[in-house]
Structure 1
């Protein structure tokens, strides 16, 4: 155990105990370190004003505390009980394996390499054994955003020179492209929220890369932010192309309708949801697609 790890562990244990209403620590020391299951697990002997505790923590193991005053009389007993619970939780976790990207409806197939990166990171999230794995997921997210910036520049080749941007400046490129894809006063809030999303994804992935204190939920949130940002840009592009100006039923606003030709070669729109029917002009449909 390095001095840096000891200091960090003592801080985490103090916060953990405080969260369990255990305060007034008088003594805290590692009683025993175990390596028999392939990872380093520490059992801490913690004495407080109101009782004595074993705190178990280490590589790939959740932290937990066990009272010395009632059931767990030795560090070995606390360790054995803790690892039994941990192994049961891990077995249940793998049995209930869920791909994190399944939690978001994504359409990221347009950029195959980003899709591959994020899917691999989602799988890696289920096999985290140390902080370096969490940092690696953050790095993957950040690299995916840089690759997204390259794709955005490829689609808008003049924005670097016109705005004095560098190719790896994801936040700068994102801000400009959002202004291009979501123009006009009606999209002012969309631009604001989209910029916040892009900045949030970049800043949080960077914090994951550089922090030794992040955990699995942090990595999961980072991956969700990144996936959502990639999907957001794809849908902003579809909005820019006019896919948000589709014809709707004037009665129920449904987009599920059929166009039918009458005997005099006119067109009618028949709503499949409410049954409303009315005549339409082809040029009106075309105009709506262009706006």
Structure 2
């Protein structure tokens, strides 16, 4: 296979944008050969469509990934691209949509209505061949994201602000993030998830209307959609996991298990006793009641 040139990459990116942007610069950012094939990651800048990673190489189809969303570096873009290509190269008999979803989400517990929709999308991606098939997958990704917003959102999250429209996925997610990921310690977490949310929604809408999308762009859209569902389910599990925020008061290990608790006459936990599996110490957590609009009704404080 001949080495791709600047003109090849420029032509590909501008074609993918349907002529709506101009490539200002494109240079090889990194070269990989750890799987026995030469693969190059290009750093591409455009005038109106942001910055992109373009991955291509020997017997590897060219594809592009937004730098502003999930793919922050050349390494991540390369790893995602090669994993996607390996999945696509497997025989149809070996492909299991449920296994694919569990692999992408790292086995996160997913609400049944969302898991069913994701299975449908993951099954369709292996049989899609025509533009209409690709557009249909874009539509289903978008509908799944709207369902995700409905699953996450509670009207009290808006506080004194206007309630979002029923299909306003991005606004519902924004209010969800503000409600559950408060504080400066969650600043980077909030920013990353916001970027991923907006990019996934925008890309699903782009695939829905695209007349030039290929199997590779639609596979990327599908994987982003599945990943985003897993991310939000992880946030819910983090919020309601009583142990995730604590560590051993002696050795700082997070290998903790609940060994006991003290509750009041109403059954509300006042103290929690955590056993450290690393050093055997016991850490006591005292709980205080917050206002009822707080995302966590009680706040724990290490007292020993």
Shorter chain as normaliser: what TM range?
0.5 to 0.7
| Alpha-carbon RMSD | 3.9
Quote the residue 2:114 is aligned against.
114
Q: Deviations over 1:33-64 (max 9, x none)?
A: xxxxxxxxxxxxxxxxxxxxxxxxxxxxxxx9
Tell me how far 1:240 sits from its aligned partner.
Answer: 3.4
8 A contact 1:160–1:166 mirrored in 2:
no
8 A contact 1:247–1:285 mirrored in 2:
no
After superposition, the Cα gap between the structure-2 partners of 1:180 and 1:286, relative to the gap in structure 1 and judged at 3 Å, is: closer
Quote the residue 2:36 is aligned against.
none
Which structure has the larger Rg? Answer: 1
Quote the residue 1:271 is aligned against.
276
Q: Work out which of the residue numbers 76, 91, 94 in structure 2 matches 1:93.
A: 91
8 A contact 2:157–2:176 mirrored in 1:
no
Tell me how far 1:258 sits from its aligned partner.
Answer: 6.1
Tell me how far 1:221 sits from its aligned partner.
Answer: 1.5
| Structure 2 residue ranges without an equivalent (≥5) | 9-60, 62-87, 262-271, 291-295
TM-score (norm 1): 0.57
Q: 2-side partners of 1:129 and 1:159: how far apart? A: 42
Q: 2-side partners of 1:241 and 1:258: how far apart? A: 15
The SS at the match of 2:120 is helix
Quote the residue 1:185 is aligned against.
184
8 A contact 1:268–1:277 mirrored in 2:
no
After superposition, the Cα gap between the structure-2 partners of 1:161 and 1:133, relative to the gap in structure 1 and judged at 3 Å, is: farther
After superposition, the Cα gap between the structure-2 partners of 1:260 and 1:167, relative to the gap in structure 1 and judged at 3 Å, is: closer
After superposition, the Cα gap between the structure-2 partners of 1:243 and 1:156, relative to the gap in structure 1 and judged at 3 Å, is: farther
**After superposition, where does 1:91-170 map in structure 2 within 5 Å?**
93-99=91-97, 100-104=100-104, 105-110=106-111, 112-153=112-153, 155-157=154-156, 159=158, 162-163=161-162, 165-170=164-169
Q: Work out which of the residue numbers 262, 286, 300 in structure 2 matches 1:283.
A: 286
1:249 aligns with 2:248: yes
The SS at the match of 1:212 is coil
Q: 1-side partners of 2:211 and 2:122: how far apart? A: 20
Report the structure, 1 or 2, having the larger helix content. 1
Give the paired residue count: 203
Q: 2-side partners of 1:244 and 1:260: how far apart? A: 13
